[in-house]
A and B are shown apart, each in its own frame.
Chain A
Amino acid sequence: MLDSLLSLLPQILFEGLLLGFVYAMIALGYTMVYGVLELINFAHSEIFMIGAVAGVEIFRSLSNIIHNGYLLLLVAIVVGGLVSGLVAIAMERFAYRPLRRRGTTNRLVPLITAVGVSFVLQDLVRLIEALWHNEFFLRMASVSDLEGSVTVLGIFIQYKSIVVIVVSLAMLAGLNLLVNKTRLGTAIRTVAQDMDTARLMGINPDRVVSSTFFIGGSLGGVAGVLFALQYTTISPYSGFLPGIKAFTAAVLGGIGNIPGAMVGGLVLGELETLAGTYLPTLTNGTIGTEYKDIIAFLVLILLLLFRPQGLLGQIVKEKV
């Protein structure tokens, strides 16, 4: 079995790449918010889930009207990104900003709030879906022109997988441009450096923070739509694991570091897919696929112990 598994290596690497792109896009949301506010936005996993649910609902309601699968997907991505971005802004406005206003110095306070926000969002989505369709697990409707596939160099590739890669690359490139070449990007980087100085420079930090949440949130939302497209099933609770893994990816690349988050996502996606596929055979069933989900945690723990600044991060002196 190991031989045939080894011959499937290119396929496995490709699947890991797909997963890695999704992680990378979620990881960017964590990294951007952390860069600006030094807050681990624990509820970002729910932003991802909301994007996925929005995507499923668009496919469900519009697949009879829009027959072109690619157009439908475009609509789903735009709507999913917008909905997630807006929820992220609302979350910042109503849960985190009051804390900043009060000038809380305790770092635990916003983090605990984020856990609360995460629970509220999970159950709100559950409530809405229960009343709307009486469903818990939602399935992405299949659209025939996204379902086709090609085999290149022995790698089985679905059209929708190509879409996942193209869209992620476009979003990542767009983000790089936005952060490095626009006024907003400069403002974000300034606020990330020093919020008080930024204020003195005439930048409105609240607006910058809102924009950051919107950008990170919509990236997460688009990742959600792509995740639902690729893996077909989503539930109000399915944000948690991808979320925590994406956070690991962000730390892996060095938190606050945008290229780092991308690299971290890809590395983690590959690692998880490889381990999940090979471990059962290598250990003769002793350590099975069931341990796949804790690999991310083990990576995170080891990494924080030996290279806490991440792969691409720099050591930052603590501010006194």
Chain B
Amino acid sequence: MTGSLKKMKTETALIAVCAADLVAFAALKVSPGFFAGIIGILALVMTGYLPVKLQAKLGSLAVLTLVFTLGFASKASGDIFFIGLIGILVVLIRTDRAPVWTKVLIGAAILLASIPFAGFKDTFLFELAIQIGIFAAMAMGLNVVVGMAGLLDMGYTAFFAIGAYTWGIFGSPQAHSFMAGHFPLNGNLMFLFMGLAVLATALTGIIIGLPALRLRGDYLAIVTLGLGEVIRVLANNMDHPVNITNGPQGITPVSRPDIGWFRSALSAIGVPLDARTDYQLFFYFLVLLVIGIVIVVNINLGKSKFGRAWVAIREDEIAARSMGIPMIKTKLYAFATGAAFSGAMGVIFAAQRTFVSPETFTMLQSTTILGMVVLGGMGSIEGAILGAASLTILNIDLLKGFSEYLNELKQGGTVIFGYHLSSLPSQLDPAKYERLVFGLVIIFMMIFRPTGLLPERRRKAEEAEDDDDIPEITETGKGGQS
């Protein structure tokens, strides 16, 4: 199918894309809501896949950004437009030839204007964006470990927990229970603690990694899984004999930075903030900033001596060793880097939520982050972000939104094909089956597209080389079977 798309004339494609954009615009005017959002996303898909000229593509993206942003102004739920904006970002990243300034312009318009605008309409979208940001940063961290270095870490949430507790304990009265001093610490120290958490988690990563990284791949997976569980059990039990974590009661309230300056700065430019939006907007920008840093670090790491060594280990450990790459040191470096990202996000999580409890840091969460990396494409930075966005939206928005919608249909007495929806058992509520959906996503990705939605460029290149060999391999496979 892609082949026939490629053969399509650029003129025809141009007309199709323009028409789609126009229809999306019209749909938005006629009925601003879910339907218009779907048409907008269709137009976006066409923009992404049809062979239009670069200028037309960028123009179309700009138009669609406008469409989705205007969509938030309607009373309808903004989820679909939010998804559309994320889609535009993905297409933008994958448009290689586009000049940097256009990418920056459209990207900044979306991240700094459209999404905050949406957040003011519906603060849930802020929450969604912050959660995506936190998970994206963690997915990028895990991507260093799993994607680049090929070390399967299944207890990654342990580092997140350490970060969250580092600030949770000292940013709340909790620290009183085992040491003297003035607690909670001033909320502004949160930034300092982000640094401390990076150190603490990197150190923990090294302490755990030193023994664990001597193991072969699949043993490492189980050991890290166990360590993740150990950290959770410790957090849940370190309330006696000395109360350090407050055990299952959790820690609350955790202080946040003072944002008076942020409020006055924004009201100076004509954006008044209230209790619903002030911290949400602040944390949104903070998370954006951190993600920016993480991306820069990630890209540079990928290009560095270590980055190349990681890939070498991932591809063939024995060959890499015989080339003189110091195994333990290189692996430790990956492990510690990944851990550090997670630690910093833990601090933000604790402050944003103002509450830390052991129930957050489960194996399900570790696996979810792993699923994000796998879905996006192991080793691919933009893939990790897309994976985080997709699974977070799916988990806290789409499944729940679908449940709410079903519930409304049920109460409204809707009948589909003679079947009364109200008699649909509540056990079938889609929001209850996130594990099922995650599991299916992971299995299907592994079977049909193991390189992920946005494959790492290096792998993409390899795949193109391999293309010729593939039929041969399957031939012999079948021959052996018969």
Query: Footprint of B on A, CB under 8 Å?
Result: 39-40, 95, 98-99, 101, 103-104, 106-113, 115-124, 126-127, 130-131, 134, 199, 204, 206, 240, 244, 247, 251, 285-286, 288, 290-291, 293-294, 296-298, 300-301, 304-305, 308, 318, 320
Give B233's nearest chain A residue, CB to CB: A294
Give the complex CA separation of A71 and B351 in angstroms: 59
Residue of B217, B229, B447 near A294 (CB, 8 A) is B229
Query: Footprint of A on B, CB under 8 Å?
Result: 146, 150, 152, 154, 211-212, 214-219, 221-223, 225-227, 229-230, 233, 236-237, 240-241, 318, 363, 367, 370-371, 374, 378, 425, 427-428, 432-433, 435-436, 438-443, 446-447, 450, 473-474, 477, 480-481
Give the complex CA separation of A113 and B318 in angstroms: 25
> A106-B450, A286-B240, A301-B212 provided; 6 other pairs, C-beta below 8 A?
A115-B439, A116-B441, A116-B442, A240-B363, A244-B226, A308-B219
Pairwise interchain contact B481-A204, C-beta atoms closer than 8 A: yes
Give the complex CA separation of A63 and B72 in angstroms: 59
A sample of 28 inter-chain contacts (CB < 8 A) reads A40-B218, A95-B447, A101-B474, A101-B477, A108-B152, A108-B378, A110-B446, A111-B152, A111-B221, A115-B439, A116-B440, A116-B443, A117-B443, A119-B435, A121-B439, A122-B435, A123-B435, A123-B436, A123-B439, A126-B432, A130-B425, A240-B363, A244-B226, A251-B219, A290-B236, A296-B226, A304-B211, A305-B211
Pairwise interchain contact B436-A119, C-beta atoms closer than 8 A: yes
A293 touching B442 in the complex, CB below 8 Å, given contacts A130-B427, A301-B223: no
Pairwise interchain contact A116-B227, C-beta atoms closer than 8 A: no
Contacts of A291 on B, CB cut-off 8 Å? 233, 237
Residue of B211, B229, B442, B481 near A112 (CB, 8 A) is B442
Give A206's nearest chain B residue, CB to CB: B481
Pairwise interchain contact A103-B473, C-beta atoms closer than 8 A: yes
A99 touching B446 in the complex, CB below 8 Å, given contacts A40-B221, A251-B219, A297-B226: yes
Give A130's nearest chain B residue, CB to CB: B427
Q: For chain B, what secondary structure do more than half of its interface residues adopt (helix, strand, loop), or is it mixed?
A: helix
Give the complex CA separation of A130 and B447 in angstroms: 29
Pairwise interchain contact A104-B442, C-beta atoms closer than 8 A: no
Residue of B240, B446, B481 near A116 (CB, 8 A) is B446
Pairwise interchain contact A131-B425, C-beta atoms closer than 8 A: yes
- Kindly provide the distance from the CB of A240 to the nearest chain B CB, expressed in whole angstroms: 8
Give B226's nearest chain A residue, CB to CB: A297
- Kindly provide the distance from the CB of B450 to the nearest chain A CB, expressed in whole angstroms: 6
Contacts of B223 on A, CB cut-off 8 Å? 297, 300-301, 304
A108 touching B150 in the complex, CB below 8 Å, given contacts A206-B481, A294-B233: yes
Pairwise interchain contact B218-A111, C-beta atoms closer than 8 A: yes
Residue of B146, B425, B432, B480 near A199 (CB, 8 A) is B480
Of the listed residues A108, A124, A288, A305, the one surrounded by the most CB atoms of chain B closer than 10 A to its CB is A108
Give B477's nearest chain A residue, CB to CB: A101
Give the complex CA separation of A40 and B217 in angstroms: 11
The 7 closest A-B pairs by CB, nearest first: A116-B442, A119-B439, A297-B226, A120-B439, A123-B436, A130-B427, A116-B443
Contacts of B427 on A, CB cut-off 8 Å? 127, 130-131, 134
Give the complex CA separation of A103 and B216 in angstroms: 20
Pairwise interchain contact A109-B237, C-beta atoms closer than 8 A: no
Contacts of B378 on A, CB cut-off 8 Å? 108
Pairwise interchain contact A297-B237, C-beta atoms closer than 8 A: no
Give the complex CA separation of A110 and B222 in angstroms: 14
Contacts of B436 on A, CB cut-off 8 Å? 119-120, 123-124, 127
Give B220's nearest chain A residue, CB to CB: A304
Residue of B215, B371, B480 near A308 (CB, 8 A) is B215
Give the complex CA separation of A98 and B448 in angstroms: 9
Pairwise interchain contact B473-A301, C-beta atoms closer than 8 A: no
Contacts of B215 on A, CB cut-off 8 Å? 304, 308
- Kindly provide the distance from the CB of B195 to the nearest chain A CB, expressed in whole angstroms: 30
